[in-house]
Amino acid sequence: MIVTEAQLDPKYLNLWKKGMLAIEQKNWEYAVSLILPIVKEVPAFLDGRKVLRRAEGEVVGSGKKFSLGGGLFSGGSKKDPWEAIADLEEKVFQKDPFSESANRQLYDLAIKVQFPDLAAFALETIRMGQPQNTKLMHQLAAHYMTYEQPEKAAEVYGAIVKIDPRDLTAIKGEKDAAARSSIIRQGWGGDFKSAVKNSEEQNILELLAKKGKTKEQTEELLGHFTAKYNEDQSNINNVKAIAQLYEELGDLNNALSFYDYALTLNAADVSLQRHTEILRDKQQEAYIAAMEAWISANPDAPDIEEQKQNLAAIRIQRASSVINESKARVDRNPTDKALRFDLGQAYFNATMYTEAIPELQQAKGNPHIRIKAMLLLGRCFERKNMNDLARSSFAEANRELSIMDNTKKELLYELAMVCEKMGDKAGSLEALKEIYNADYGYRDVAKRVEASYS
């Protein structure tokens, strides 16, 4: 069913190469104009469709205003499914590549024409716009299991468990998918048999997937896959393995280098794109932390003021980048409360407290992040010197927590500090005593409480 690049007609192959060059140059609109005709004429060219969707997503995220396309698309009722798919590409996805209704229609149409890989891609696209939608992810994982792709199913189930550790269906699904994957790897059935040529290679792949490897094991695996990479630099599995191993060793620079290269080999891998974004965030945070530590340790350095200015500029640039990325995700899925929280947190970190408040107020509607949103909302009010509202937010969140965990202690401490700021010594001491009774060593709580008896 799938048409590969090597199978393209020469006239489309030329367009494809120009499109990929436009992708490399980040000329997203031009890339869309080149690749869209190929996808319409060669609908089974899945790699082309994936790259097209990435380019469309970049265009939408660039600040241009497009309709979110929430309604049903009439083209889905056409008799010929392939014609309906082409219409979706031309009339909907160019404006809103992450439209849930359009991608669900694409899924249904792909199932009708018996193209499960395209159906999975439609669900993965929705997932990219709604990374917290566990109901959708369950459907995606079930689809992968139905079509004998248990490794992908296990990854999706694992992502669900990270969002909701109490999801027993996902926990069981991840175990079942891993077991099915193991059966296929051992050559008892499935397409994976040809990829595992012998037991040694199988052991290597199982060790690669294992969590909690020793440093020596990780370094040995890195040597193995580096040797394979030197033999064939176009094998994306080896590239991703090297990137993963560098990441596990804490070498973020090399890890990012290989993840970025993997994206050039498969530009439309949604999970890889998101993972690379997260890792790049970690790298930038680590760099900022290292600069902060150096400035703190070298206050008398001759270039200390210059370094402080550099750090301030990096922080501003970093904050702006995070805000733009968070806004783009919210624009793609404005009803996702978790994305609203991410945007609110980005605004807070950039000291844009006024902008953060409405995002965090909406984020309170998600029960999984409600307390975190209320805590951050209270901090926004406190930074704006709206201390009565800050106290109200901290107190409300505290009442909803019955267990004295780290979050409740943090809330009580913030409540105590804002009460003290307002001159309410009794309220401040009451909150501090509640922490004192549970955790004597928390921050400076013991010192403050015991001083009140002097």
- What CATH number did the domain enclosing 267 receive? 1.25.40.10
Q: Which helix (H) or strand (E) is 408 found in, with range? A: helix 406-421
Q: Is residue 170 part of a domain?
A: no
CB 216 within 8 A of CB 229: no
Q: Looking at residue 393, what is its pLDDT?
A: 95
370-383 vs 387-399: helix crossing angle, rounded to 10: 160
Q: Is residue 164 part of a domain?
A: no
Kindly calculate the radius of gyration of the chain based on its CA atoms and give it in whole angstroms: 26
CB 399 within 8 A of CB 429: no
Q: What is the percent of the chain with per-residue pLDDT over 90, rounded to a whole number?
A: 32
Residue reference for tokens 């968070």? 326
DSSP state of 257: H
DSSP state of 93: I
Q: Kindly state the average pLDDT of the residues 212-234.
A: 88
Q: Kindly state the average pLDDT of the residues 39-63.
A: 84
Q: Looking at residue 78, what is its pLDDT?
A: 45
The per-residue pLDDT of the chain, averaged, comes to: 85
Helices vs. strands in the chain: H and E counts, helices first: 22, 0
Longest CA–CA span in the chain (Å) reads 88
Tokens of 363: 């984020």
Q: Is residue 177 part of a domain?
A: no
Task: List the single range of 185-199, 245-259, 376-390 with lowest mean pLDDT.
Answer: 185-199
| HSE-up of residue 97 (Cα within 13 Å, Cβ side) | 26
Per-residue HEC secondary structure of 275-302 comes to HHHHHHHHHHHHHHHHHHHHHHHCCCCC
Q: C-alpha 257: how far from its chain's center?
A: 18
Q: Flag whether pLDDT at 79 surpasses 80.
A: no
Rounded CA separation 324/412 (Å): 33
Rounded CA separation 117/400 (Å): 45
Query: What confidence category does residue 372 fall into, taking pLDDT thresholds of 50, 70 and 90?
Result: very high
Q: C-alpha 229: how far from its chain's center?
A: 27
CB 384 within 8 A of CB 353: yes
Other Cβ atoms within 10 Å of 368 Cβ, number: 13
Q: For residue 214, what are the CA distances in angstroms to 158, 210, 355, 397?
A: 22, 10, 45, 41
Q: Flag whether pLDDT at 72 surpasses 70.
A: no
Q: Kindly state the average pLDDT of the residues 268-293.
A: 81
Residue reference for tokens 């005593």? 433
Give the torsion sign (CA, 5, 6, 8, 13): positive
What's the angle, vertex CA 262, arms to CA 261 and CA 263, rounded to 5? Answer: 90
Q: Is residue 123 part of a domain?
A: no
Rounded CA separation 353/342 (Å): 14
Q: Give the closest residue to 174 by CA, choosing from 156, 160, 154.
A: 154
CB 282 within 8 A of CB 252: yes
Other Cβ atoms within 10 Å of 292 Cβ, number: 13
Count of residues in the chain: 454
How would you label 162-196 residue by residue, b for 16+ Cβ within 10 Å and e otherwise? Answer: eeeeebeebbebbeebbebbeebbeeeebebeeeb
Task: List the single range of 102-116, 184-198, 214-228, 297-311 with lowest mean pLDDT.
Answer: 184-198
Give the torsion sign (CA, 431, 436, 438, 441): positive
Three-state DSSP at 98 gives: coil
**DSSP codes joined into one string, 148-169:** T-HHHHHHHHHHHHHH-TT-HH
Q: Looking at residue 4, what is its pLDDT?
A: 87
Residue 276 lies in domain: 212-297
Q: Flag whether pLDDT at 389 surpasses 80.
A: yes
DSSP state of 74: G
Q: What is the pTM of this model?
A: 0.47
Q: Is residue 419 part of a domain?
A: no
Q: Is residue 277 part of a domain?
A: yes
Q: Looking at residue 64, what is its pLDDT?
A: 36
Q: Looking at residue 1, what is its pLDDT?
A: 67
Q: Looking at residue 176, what is its pLDDT?
A: 85
Query: What confidence category does residue 185 fall into, taking pLDDT thresholds of 50, 70 and 90?
Result: low
Q: Flag whether pLDDT at 357 surpasses 70.
A: yes
Tokens of 390: 């800050």
Q: Kindly state the average pLDDT of the residues 253-282.
A: 83
Three-state DSSP at 133 gives: coil
Q: Looking at residue 67, what is its pLDDT?
A: 33
What's the domain count of the chain?
1
Query: What confidence category does residue 191 fall into, taking pLDDT thresholds of 50, 70 and 90?
Result: very low
Rounded CA separation 366/63 (Å): 27
CB 4 within 8 A of CB 47: yes
CB 81 within 8 A of CB 113: yes
Q: Kindly state the average pLDDT of the residues 201-217.
A: 79
Q: Give the closest residue to 47 by CA, choosing from 98, 13, 75.
A: 13
Q: Is residue 252 part of a domain?
A: yes
Query: What confidence category does residue 130 fall into, taking pLDDT thresholds of 50, 70 and 90?
Result: confident
Rounded CA separation 424/96 (Å): 52
Q: Looking at residue 208, what is its pLDDT?
A: 82
Q: Is residue 312 part of a domain?
A: no
Q: Flag whether pLDDT at 200 surpasses 80.
A: no
